[in-house]
Amino acid sequence: MKKENIIYIGIAVLVGLLVGYLIFGGNTETTSVDEHDHSAEMASGEMWTCSMHPQIMQPEPGSCPICGMDLIPADNGGEGLAVNQIKMTENAMVLAGVETIRVGSGADAEEHLKISGKVAVNQESDAVQSAYFDGRIESIHVNFEGEQVRKGQKLATIYAPALVSAQQELLTAAKLKESQPQLYKAVRNKLKLWKLSDTQIDQIESSGQVLENFPVYANVSGVISEIMVEEGDYIKTGSPLVKVANLNSVWAIFDAYENQLSLFKEGQTLDVSTNSYPNQTFTAKVSFVAPTLNKQTRTMEVRAELDNKKGMLKPGMFVQAEVEVNNKQDGEVVLTIPESAVLWTGKRSLVYVQPDPNSSTFEMREVELGNLMNGSYVVNSGLNSGDWVVAKGTFTVDAAAQLQGKKSMMNQNAQAMRTGREGHSEMGSTMKMEFSQEAETKFGDLLKVYLNLKDALVASDQEQTQTLAKKGAGIASELSGMQMDDMGKSHITQLASQFKEIGSKSDLKGQREVFVSLSQNMIQIGQQISGLDGKLYVQHCPMANNDRGANWLSLEEEIRNPYYGDAMLTCGSVVGTID
């Protein structure tokens, strides 16, 4: 009996061990799987962000350091972007009007450079008819400017008392020429110095009568370009009477920019055309390239000489010249990009490249440019044939990069990733701009208009916004003509364009879209202006600009959102100040 109990106990123990193994062995395997899955999750590199503050990126769940909301998994579609890359949504690209072109050879479009100029009188063949003695204009025999005259034609008649006395001396000396030939000869030479011919002198001597009025004859043939006296005027020796222009040869005068000067040299042949003769081309030869630069226009004069024996070209006509450009380097045609694709930051030239035409990712790239020809720049370095470049909407793409803390036109020192713990107070390092005192004062006037425009958007007043934008465009245009460095001028010019665009919009939605880039530009410039009246608050709405966020300037710390008005009046936060 005891033996049977022992057997039963042994069987029970074995069964218990087997069941325990099955249960705990399975749990051990499950735990192993769980640990494996967790490791895989950690290895996936999933990031967490805030739905209200998308710039916050953290490697683990938690709370937003700005608003305290729970973080949510971030969209991994943006992973792997470099610090100089930005990703935009398809909808944002459409709203911003972003267009790209494929960089290729510009041989067909860029073999010729076109410059404009005007026809002018050839001053080398221009003549001024002057008076050779004192007197009074008795009559003028040319009636109007533009009248044709021939050499030897009578131009005017002058009463000259000195000539009357000289004639009397001649008549007296003629009676004594046998006894005093030297005196007689001296008197004749005196009259010759006053441009009287031998025939006229002989006529006076033979007639024995003194002439009171003397004619003035043209020394050259041409066209009267200016009549400089009137009947009854008293004149002195050397006084100009008329200007005579010989239009058989005329000048075509062009203004060439600094980066075009290497294309011109004396003796070079140009093909010149004019609207008056659209189907005809004239050949001109460059006769002069100015040695100095016009400080106002930043151009140099290029002068070419044209044969005009047929009289087809008139001084004052607008003309256009075509210059052949050697666009090849080492046998290869260089690349060109549209002028609208380039962002200027002082000495740097930037473009945005689309690495994959099927993706909405853009990459900022610095390029070196050559001559500007027909609205396109020659690319010396920085781009390759086949690259896709943003041709329209470049500034909008750059503004989006600035808002996302990426490298941009104004921010060269962006970090590869923002953790979000620094909040919004960091507005990036700004490149230096220099403004004159006059320009800074004028910017203060522009800032007042901007702040009033912001208030109009807060009130959703479309008409007032439009009126203020037009006023701002006028002030910005005046400001662009004042003393400042190249970077400042570039941004002020963009301001004028942005104000003008808002003024052309008849709907609040369109006005607010442009206000995004306008505000970012105002912030960047405002940071460079010293002596602004009062403190300015840089405020931010994370939901504006299609949830990409947008900034604006305000005199009040209290939030009044210009992007949504009453719909979300207090949405936003203060992210910085400008003192």
Predicted pLDDT of residue 515: 92
Strand partners for 123: none
User: 473 vs 106, which has greater pLDDT?
Assistant: 473
Task: Work out the average pLDDT over 151-175.
Answer: 81
Predicted pLDDT of residue 110: 47
> How many of the other CB atoms lie within 10 Å of CB of 478?
14
Is the pLDDT at 413 greater than 70? The verdict is no
Report the range out of 211-225, 365-379, 476-490, 549-563 with the highest average pLDDT. 549-563
Is the pLDDT at 216 greater than 70? The verdict is yes
- Which amino acid would we find at residue 351? V
User: 56 vs 217, which has greater pLDDT?
Assistant: 217
Task: State the burial class of residue 132 (Cβ atoms within 10 Å of its Cβ: 0-12, 13-18, 19+).
Answer: middle
Predicted pLDDT of residue 30: 35
Q: Please give the Cα distance from 534 to 481 (Å, whole number).
A: 26
Predicted pLDDT of residue 109: 42
DSSP state of 299: E
Task: Work out the average pLDDT over 57-61.
Answer: 75
Is the pLDDT at 35 greater than 50? The verdict is no
- 126 within 8 A of 240, measured Cβ to Cβ: no
Predicted pLDDT of residue 19: 47
User: 175 vs 273, which has greater pLDDT?
Assistant: 273
Task: Work out the average pLDDT over 407-429.
Answer: 49
* Residue 92 main-chain phi, psi, to 5 deg: -65, -40
Per-residue pLDDT tens digits for 432-443: 678 888 888 888
Predicted pLDDT of residue 16: 60
Q: Please give the Cα distance from 311 to 246 (Å, whole number).
A: 10
- At residue 424 the predicted structure's pLDDT band, cuts being 50, 70 and 90, is very low
User: 557 vs 132, which has greater pLDDT?
Assistant: 557
Task: Work out the average pLDDT over 489-493.
Answer: 85
Residue for token pair 């936003």: 572
Is the pLDDT at 502 greater than 90? The verdict is yes
- At residue 138 the predicted structure's pLDDT band, cuts being 50, 70 and 90, is confident
Predicted pLDDT of residue 483: 86
Task: State the burial class of residue 398 (Cβ atoms within 10 Å of its Cβ: 0-12, 13-18, 19+).
Answer: buried
Identify the CA nearest to 397 among candidates 430, 441, 353: 353
Predicted pLDDT of residue 9: 60
Q: Per mean pLDDT, which range of 185-194, 222-231, 494-503 is the poorest?
A: 185-194
- Which amino acid would we find at residue 363? E
Task: Work out the average pLDDT over 162-190.
Answer: 78
Work out the percent of the chain whose per-residue pLDDT is above 90: 13
pTM attached to this predicted model? 0.41
32-57 core/surface letters (b: 16 or more CB in 10 A; e: else): eeeeeeeeeeeeeeebbbbebbbbbb
> How many of the other CB atoms lie within 10 Å of CB of 84?
20
Which residues lie closer than 8 Å to 358 by C-beta, 6 or more apart? none
Report the range out of 91-100, 150-159, 174-183, 418-427 with the highest average pLDDT. 150-159
Predicted pLDDT of residue 46: 67
Task: Work out the average pLDDT over 553-572.
Answer: 89
Is the pLDDT at 507 greater than 80? The verdict is yes
Task: Work out the average pLDDT over 165-174.
Answer: 78
Q: Is 421 helix (H, G, I), strand (E, B) or coil?
A: coil
Tell me the pLDDT of the chain averaged across its residues: 78
Is the pLDDT at 56 greater than 90? The verdict is no
Predicted pLDDT of residue 31: 34
Is the pLDDT at 475 greater than 50? The verdict is yes
Q: Is 280 helix (H, G, I), strand (E, B) or coil?
A: strand
Predicted pLDDT of residue 252: 92
Could you tell me the two tokens for 449? 């208009």
Per-residue pLDDT tens digits for 192-203: 777 777 777 777
Helices in 319-392 by DSSP H: which ranges?
none
- 451 within 8 A of 472, measured Cβ to Cβ: no
